[in-house]
Structure 1
Amino acid sequence: MHWYDEYCSQPGQGAYSPHAPVRALAARTQPLPLRTQMRLAHDPIPAVRQALAAHDPLPAPVIDELSWDRNPRVLATLAEHHALTGEQHTRLLQCLDPAVCRVLGRTDMAAVLEQYTAGWQPDRPGKHWGRP
């Protein structure tokens, strides 16, 4: 069983440590499979996402797909650990409210995500959801 599958399937066990995936990421020499990278990019433990970003910059197609994620935390992780430029930046802007896009244009990603997160309203599904 892959270490990440084991990590996901046995979180309640005494041997579970939130730092085990970080150690495993730092110790390995081979790149992770894309499927595992995508799962790690959604991991609730920030150190896991940071370790992934440090050791395995996500391939452009994976970043591109994750940029459609509905969770602002995932988008913030992408922006923080991966330089989103060009087409990926444009597509992320397209996920935002059109009024925000008009104001922000192609400004820096931190401002984009700040506006996006501030406007995200979980009690109003669909506010920022969906592809253009």
Structure 2
Amino acid sequence: MVMHWYDEYCSHPGQGAYSPYAPVRALAARTQPLPLRTQMRLAHDPIPAVRQALAAHDPLPAPVIDELSWDPNPRVLATLAEHHALTGEQHTRLLQCLDPAVCRVLGHADMAAVLEQYTAGWQPDRPGKHRGRP
């Protein structure tokens, strides 16, 4: 198996928010073509900046996008919505966080409209497009 410079840093997430390797993992997530196993490991990283850098990486495989769409951090969700086309289910999942920054990225300027669409069970008219209009 070929080892890359980022393998050692991405294998051990470290001690939560105090990990000295978090910037290295974020750099690898943002710039390197990582194998799926490494991307899935980074999707569960305890540091939100690493998950946000991974969400900005293009292209991302569908399983990683789906895993990141469950993230509790609104910045990670906003970055994911900004850089990737989402399915209808992922779009609805992101609306559940009801964070204004995420809703703006998804193309909804008014939070009242978002709440109304979410409670009515709105689905995008073009599945797979995250910037569709209601």
Normalised by the length of structure 2, the TM-score is: 0.42
Number of residue pairs the alignment of both structures matches:
132
Moved more, 77-86 or 31-40: 31-40
- In structure 2, list runs of 5 or more residues that go unmatched: none
Q: How much does 1:78 deviate?
A: 0.8
**Aligned CA distance change for structure 1 residues 81 and 44 (closer, same or farther; 3 Å):** farther
How big is each residue's C-alpha offset from its partner over 1:93-120, in whole Å with a ceiling of 9 and x where there is no partner? 2344899999999779999799999999
Q: Distance in 2 between matches of 1:23 and 1:78?
A: 17
Tell me whether 1:64 sits opposite 2:66 in the alignment.
yes
| Contact 2:23–2:50 (8 Å) recurs in 1 | yes
Q: Distance in 2 between matches of 1:27 and 1:70?
A: 19
Q: How much does 1:6 deviate?
A: 2.7
Q: How much does 1:68 deviate?
A: 0.9
| Contact 2:9–2:21 (8 Å) recurs in 1 | no
Moved more, 16-25 or 87-96: 16-25
Moved more, 75-84 or 104-113: 104-113
How big is each residue's C-alpha offset from its partner over 1:25-69, in whole Å with a ceiling of 9 and x where there is no partner? 999999532232234557899998798667642222221121111
Moved more, 110-119 or 83-92: 110-119
Moved more, 19-28 or 74-83: 19-28
Q: How much does 1:88 deviate?
A: 1.3
Percent identity at matched positions?
95
Normalised by the length of structure 1, the TM-score is: 0.42
Moved more, 77-86 or 20-29: 20-29
- In structure 1, list runs of 5 or more residues that go unmatched: none
Out of 114, 119, 126, the position equivalent to 1:112 is 114
